Amino acid sequence: MKGFSREDQRVALCGLSCGLCPMRLGGHCPGCGGGAGNQSCKLARCALERGGVEYCFQCADYPCQRYQDFDQYDSFLTHQRRAADLEAAREDLEACHSRLREKEAILAFLLERCNDGRRKSFYCLAVYLLEPEDLRPLLARLQAEPAMDGKARAAEAAEALREAAQKRGIELKLRKKPRKKEA
């Protein structure tokens, strides 16, 4: 969207974590207010109309009708933690950024050292939904086994992420909107 820019490229207006997004990591989206690219977001337009708020929680009308059913389904990035993450940013933005930096570093390791070419979206989803304390032991274990080949490392990482998610009752799957049936 022309004229829309933001300083914070880690936490989007709505609370999504751009640094953990497969579209942004793939160079297909500059992030919320990060320059030219996918910025047709209705929230960006609203932020401009509201004087350029940096986060939706700064608006007196948050949450507004734009958030009705917003978190019901995912896009290429899960919305499952969006509201909680936005609330965490409201409470302590620096702690939120610190947590995201740690998650981004873990995701970077997984993508660089444990990717068999088919796990980018899965790693993004798992790192987004799991807590750093769930991810740290996996990272330590994978770093301690440098001789493991790429496919074996990817399989071990994926299995460990699934186990950590299962312990927390998290399903590592995007919630897609059902397709409309044709008559």
> What is the per-residue pLDDT across 92-131, written as a single tens digit (0 to 9) for each?
999 999 999 999 999 999 999 898 888 999 999 999 999 9
Rounded average pLDDT over 36-45: 71
Listed residues 91, 119, 149: the one ending a domain? 91
Residue 177 lies in a domain: no
Same domain, 125 and 56: no
DSSP label at residue 37? S
Listed residues 64, 91, 118: the one ending a domain? 91
User: Where does the pLDDT of residue 39 fall: very low under 50, low under 70, confident under 90, or very high at 90 and above?
Assistant: low
Listed residues 66, 91, 116: the one ending a domain? 91
- Are the C-beta atoms of residues 138 and 131 closer than 8 Å to each other? no
Same domain, 45 and 106: no
Can you state the angle between helices 132-143 and 93-113, rounded to 10 degrees?
Answer: 30
Q: Provide the pLDDT for residue 33.
A: 72
Same domain, 97 and 70: no
Residue 183 lies in a domain: no
| Domain residue limits at 163 | 93-172
- Domains contained in the chain, number: 2
Same domain, 127 and 55: no
Same domain, 1 and 87: yes
Q: Provide the pLDDT for residue 87.
A: 93
Q: Which two tokens stand for residue 69?
A: 């059913």
Rounded average pLDDT over 134-149: 86
- Separation of alpha carbons 36 and 77, rounded Å: 20
Give me the amino acid identity at 65: Q
Same domain, 20 and 56: yes
- What percentage of the chain exceeds 90 in pLDDT? 49
